[in-house]
Amino acid sequence: MANNYTRSSVALTVNEEQERFLKDAGELADCIDDGSEPVVPEWAGELARSVSDYGWGWQMTTYPVSPGTIYVYSEETANVEGMALLLTEYLCRFDPKGCIMVTWALTCSSPRPDEFGGGGMLVYAKETIWLDVQDELRKILHSDQEEG
């Protein structure tokens, strides 16, 4: 049996309050993913449902060599929809006109057709724009076939 992975990483420049919010939200998601039943703040209802349904898979860390930067990454399988919900709340609180770009790779432990790909999202306070590499390539292929 093959294993599928969603791998990603993004670095965010943060102040202490922003770092605390992200780490607290990540800890909340970890607790939900572990099967605990923590008190979920009102803003995190959708995030909690997403993590309950699809898991979490993200880690957050800081390094002394990069003060003011938090690294958000996944080593195996990450819930990108859950991360979009978290980043939307982050932007609403701290940078309502900002945008965070996240990309990811879809990989497989076996060389199976259609088991590899990737995607990305542009997260804004009011919307998230999604991109899937296979979908975009299919559109191009379909367009080329219509022209040819």
* Domain boundaries along the sequence of the chain: 4-147
Residue 65: predicted pLDDT: 78
**Residue carrying structure tokens 């980043």:** 87
Q: What is the pLDDT of residues 53-97, one digit of tens each?
A: 999 999 999 887 788 999 999 988 999 999 999 999 999 999 999
Mean pLDDT in residue range 41-63 = 93
Measured CA to CA, the distance from residue 75 to residue 69 in angstroms comes to 19
pLDDT at position 43? 92
Q: Is residue 148 scored above 80 in pLDDT?
A: no
14 pLDDT exceeds 70?
yes
The C-alpha atoms of residue 144 and residue 128 are separated, in whole angstroms, by: 28
CA distance 62 to 60: 7
- pLDDT recorded at residue 64: 76
In angstroms, rounded to a whole number, what is the distance separating the alpha carbons of residues 101 and 80? Answer: 12
